[in-house]
């Protein structure tokens, strides 16, 4: 295969993957960082990294897991880089408010607010289970947790949401 046709094939392969998984990547990033514009930055960085290391992906059926792992790592890097900067609580709330503002009905907005208020440790496994469809075993592998710990977090996450929605 010539260099240019190999490059073309590589680019086609990448475009196909991105077209299928871009929405998952964005939503995962958005629920991790709770901010649309940061999520867009994280996804951009993740796409760049995925492009550079595309050749390490040998099995297309693992593409979703591979891309989400890159998003997770980029999100951690993003906040690691900004750890020493002042965190503006008001602007974080404003970022969440922007997502809530696009919500079509009040009940849905209440649920989004409740999910935003979950600790990261509870929100992330819930997103991976409900939105991404991963089993508790797979979530454990992604988050570096034992399956029992994942089950505990998911149980607590739903209980918190139940309590919160009951008080709305």
Partner 1 sequence: MNCEEYRQALTADPAWTDETGHAAACAGCQAYTRKLQSLNLEIARAMQIEVPALAMPDLPDIDAARVTTLPARRRSWAPLWFAVAATVVLAASISLRMSGLFVTYDTLAEEVLAHLDHEPASLRVTEVPVSDDRLQRALPANVAVFDRDRALVTYANPCIINGHRVPHLVIQGQYGPVTILLMPEERVAESIPLEGDSVRGMIVPVGNGSIAIIADRDEPLDPLRRNVIESITWTT
Give the containing element (helix H, strand E) for 27.
helix 3-33
Question: Mask: binding to partner 1, 83-112, rule CB under 8 A, as x and -?
Answer: ----------------x--x----xx--xx
Strands (E), 9-126: none
Strands (E), the chain: none
40 vs 119, beta carbon nearer partner 1: 40
Q: Report the site for partner 1 in 48-87 (rule: CB under 8 A).
A: 48-49, 51-53, 55-56, 58, 72-73, 76-77, 80
**Residue 122: Cβ-neighbour burial (10 angstroms; 0-12, 13-18, 19+):** buried
Out of 27, 92, 117, 138, the residue judged to bind partner 1 by CB under 8 A? 27
Q: Which residues of 45-72 are buried (b: 16+ CB within 10 A; e: fewer)?
A: bbbebbeeeeeebeeeeebbbbbbebbb
Number of Cβ atoms within 10 Å of the Cβ of 101: 8
Where do contacts with partner 1 occur on this chain (CB under 8 A)? 1-3, 6-7, 9-11, 14, 18-19, 22-23, 26-27, 30-31, 36, 40, 44, 47-49, 51-53, 55-56, 58, 72-73, 76-77, 80, 99, 102, 107-108, 111-112, 115, 126-127, 129-131, 135-136, 141, 144, 150-152, 154-155, 158-159, 161-162, 165
């Amino acid at each position: 295969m010539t260099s240019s046709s190999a490059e073309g094939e590589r680019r086609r392969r990448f475009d196909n993957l991105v077209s299928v998984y871009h929405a998952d990547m964005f939503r995962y990033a958005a629920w991790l960082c709770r901010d649309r514009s940061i999520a867009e930055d994280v996804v951009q960085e993740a796409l760049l990294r995925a492009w550079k290391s595309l050749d390490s992906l040998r099995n297309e059926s693992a593409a979703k897991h591979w891309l989400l792992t890159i998003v997770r790592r980029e999100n951690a890097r993003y906040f690691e880089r900004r750890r020493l900067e002042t965190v503006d609580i008001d602007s974080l709330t404003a970022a969440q408010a922007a997502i809530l503002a696009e919500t079509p009905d009040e009940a849905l907005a209440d649920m989004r607010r409740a999910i935003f208020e979950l600790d990261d440790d509870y929100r992330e496994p819930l997103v991976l289970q409900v939105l991404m469809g991963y089993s508790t075993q797979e979530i454990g592998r992604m988050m570096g947790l034992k399956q029992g710990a994942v089950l505990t977090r998911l149980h607590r996450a739903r209980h918190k949401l139940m309590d919160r929605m009951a008080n709305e």
